[in-house]
């Protein structure tokens, strides 16, 4: 009797094991990443060091077309995150484009009024960053 129970247990376990190893019929399709072409050229009137009015971000925009972004991101109930990005920037039409080290490109509509620079994201979620030129 014990042998019969043992064989039944092994048979039942094999069925569950085989079901667990069955190939999943669901196919995962990754969405295409939207891409923005990095085009244009630097414009010296935007060169300088810019400090955001809200938050703690400083852009150093070089007339040669390179940039550096240093920022501290406040996280609720945790230590702030220090972020340092570098890459290239260019102006094309009314947009300022930033390309990071990984090749990701972000486009912002740009407005310069004296020593105030306003960048507004061009995607569906509009965000505005206002910065003042540091002396």
How far is the C-alpha of 105 from the C-alpha of 33, rounded, in Å? Answer: 11
The domain limits of the chain are 44-133
How far is the C-alpha of 34 from the C-alpha of 120, rounded, in Å? Answer: 18
Q: Which of 35, 33, 34, 45 is nearest to 91 (CA)?
A: 45
How far is the C-alpha of 104 from the C-alpha of 76, rounded, in Å? Answer: 28
Q: Which of 67, 71, 68, 69 is nearest to 54 (CA)?
A: 71
Averaged pLDDT, groups of 10, the chain, 135 residues long: 43 45 60 77 97 93 97 91 95 96 94 96 86 94
Tens digits of residue pLDDT in 60-91: 999 999 999 999 988 899 999 999 999 999 99
pLDDT for the residue 118:
97
Query: Which tokens hold the place of 33?
Result: 């990443």
pLDDT for the residue 122:
86
CB under 8 A, 24+ apart: contacts of 103-111: 105/35, 105/36, 105/37, 105/38, 106/36, 107/36, 110/46
Query: Which tokens hold the place of 11?
Result: 């048979």
CATH 2.40.10.10 fits domain 44-133 = no
């Amino acid at each position: 009797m014990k042998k019969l129970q043992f064989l039944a247990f092994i048979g039942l376990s094999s069925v569950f094991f085989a079901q667990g190893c069955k190939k999943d019929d669901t196919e995962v399709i990754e969405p295409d990443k939207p891409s923005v072409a990095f085009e244009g050229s630097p414009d010296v009137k935007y060169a300088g060091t810019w400090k955001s009015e809200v938050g703690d971000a400083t852009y150093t925009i070089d007339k040669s077309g390179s940039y550096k972004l240093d920022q501290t991101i406040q996280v609720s109930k945790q230590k702030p995150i220090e972020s340092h990005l570098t890459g290239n920037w260019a102006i094309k039409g009314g947009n300022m484009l930033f390309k990071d080290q990984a090749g990701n490109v972000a486009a912002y509509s740009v407005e310069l009024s004296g020593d105030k620079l306003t960048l507004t994201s061009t995607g569906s979620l509009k965000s505005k960053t206002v910065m003042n030129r540091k002396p």
